[in-house]
Amino acid sequence: MVVYAATAQVEPAGYYGPGGGLKGPPVQAKVGKPGLDDESGERLWMMSEEFTKTKFD
């Protein structure tokens, strides 16, 4: 997968994963609803800062 990402013509900011579920050739994939939820993202960001005791800008 890493070699594919480094050498293939891919969509900028695209999301790729195995085409067969857990294994298979890389294909462009869709981000699920939880991955697009801004509120969850903000909560994850705050928790990451809290748990790592690091401030991310």
Please list the pLDDT of the chain residue by residue as tens digits (57 residues). Answer: 678 767 888 888 888 888 888 888 888 888 889 889 999 999 999 999 999 999 987
Is residue 6 a part of any domain in this protein?
yes
Q: What pLDDT does residue 1 have?
A: 62
DSSP state of 24: S
Is residue 16 a part of any domain in this protein?
yes
DSSP state of 48: H
> Residue 30 belongs to what domain range?
2-52
Is residue 57 a part of any domain in this protein?
no
Residues 6+ apart with CB under 8 A from 8: 26
Q: What pLDDT does residue 20 have?
A: 86
Structural domains in the chain (count): 1
